[in-house]
Amino acid sequence: MEEETVVETNRLGWRAACLVAALAATLPAAAQTYPVKPVRMVVGFSAGGATDIVARAIGQNLHQAFGQPVIVDNRPGAASNIAADHVAKSPPDGYTLFMGSISLANNATLYSNLPYNALRDLAPIVHVTNTPFMLCVHPSIPVKSVKELVAFAKARPGQVQYGTAGNGSGAHLFTELFASMAGIKMQAIPYKGAAPAVNDLVGGQLAFVFDNVIGMVPLHKAGKLRCLAASSRSRSPIAPDIPTMQEAGIAGYVADAWFGLFAPAGTPAAVIERVNAEVNRAMQAPAIRNRFETLGCEPAGGSAAAFGAYFKSEIEKWGKVIRSAGVRLQ
């Protein structure tokens, strides 16, 4: 009788072990130790640009935290759409991440035939940084404040020319938002990148340009440009003496370039939480903060849910601006 009990107990134990093994086989990779192999971080722009630099800085810290290589994979083209589509179609296992930017939010409206849907196909992980832009005029323009620039433009409807890094770029949309809120009409001059636009501003061929704080403030200090306001909600630590657009009289104006980390939709929540926690931790490191400062970036951080809500609001916000301005890209 005791022997039968022992046999039955062993049989039940064997069945339980089989059941546990079967359940373990169905658990997502996140339930195991993540990561167990190298992680790819896809970037939609060329090596050496701001997105790439931010990705490599974060990737280096994730490598130290994970004990696995984090490989930056540059896939430039179509304002990051090629990279975003690649990530959207990658396995949702946590081994393919995407360093996205404000371009990802803008593209949702700028392009009518995208092969992916950012809200449906990508999972927000963490808001990495914000980057304020500066509204700067050429010193020959007789204005010393945003209010004076608005008055100057209203007296010359459609005549004031401003430079952009191309149709649909941050500089373009930031200015369209400004024009809409201020009730003015101006003429956009698109360039192939921000650098030639800023060069022409310095040369006096343009009235003003919105561009990254890190590039504009030195020109302002050198007297080559006059910075009137920062696009961000609060003053930039790089130029604390320059007011925000809201302080300068454009109530409610806030516009930041930003970077954020995404994964393919369906990536296990445990993976999202792990990466989010490690990136938030990394952004407290002095080396990371100093690296971001050289780009004019300000660390953001926060939960995946908060970043998801922010990303959705950015799509809605810039979608309205793009539709109102009639901007479309193919």
* Residue 269 CB partners (closer than 8 Å, separation 6+): 30
Does 21 score more than 70 pLDDT?
no
The reply to whether CATH 3.40.190.10 applies to domain 132-230 is: yes
Mention the CATH class of domain 37-131+256-325: alpha beta
Structure tokens given for 115: 């092969």
Question: What local confidence, expressed as pLDDT, does residue 5 receive?
Answer: 39
Question: What local confidence, expressed as pLDDT, does residue 14 receive?
Answer: 47
Backbone angle region of 245, left / alpha / beta, with phi > 0 → left and psi within -120 to 50 → alpha: alpha
pLDDT digits (tens, 9 = 90+) for 231-269: 999 999 999 999 999 999 999 999 999 999 999 999 999
Cα(280)–Cα(300) distance, rounded to whole angstroms? 9
pLDDT-derived band of residue 4, with 50, 70 and 90 as boundaries? very low
Cα(176)–Cα(162) distance, rounded to whole angstroms? 11
pLDDT-derived band of residue 291, with 50, 70 and 90 as boundaries? confident
Does 158 score more than 80 pLDDT?
yes
Structure tokens given for 288: 């990371």
Q: What length does the chain have?
A: 330
> Is residue 206 within 8 Å of 197, Cβ to Cβ?
yes
Question: What local confidence, expressed as pLDDT, does residue 32 receive?
Answer: 56
Does 96 score more than 90 pLDDT?
yes
For residue 41, give the nearest of 278, 211, 213, 296 by alpha carbon.
278
3-state secondary structure of 267: coil
Cα(8)–Cα(20) distance, rounded to whole angstroms? 18
Query: What count of other Cβ atoms lies within 10 Å of the Cβ of residue 26?
Result: 7
| Higher-pLDDT residue of 254, 28 | 254
**Of 7-16, 147-156, 219-228, which range is least confident?**
7-16
3-state secondary structure of 105: helix
Question: What local confidence, expressed as pLDDT, does residue 284 receive?
Answer: 92
Q: Break the chain into its structural domains and give their ranges.
A: 37-131+256-325, 132-230
Task: Return the DSSP state at 117.
Answer: -
* Mean of the per-residue pLDDT values of the chain: 91
Question: What local confidence, expressed as pLDDT, does residue 293 receive?
Answer: 87
Angle, vertex CA 259, rays to CA 254 and CA 262, nearest 5: 125
Does 12 score more than 60 pLDDT?
no
pLDDT-derived band of residue 22, with 50, 70 and 90 as boundaries? very low
Cα(250)–Cα(181) distance, rounded to whole angstroms? 7
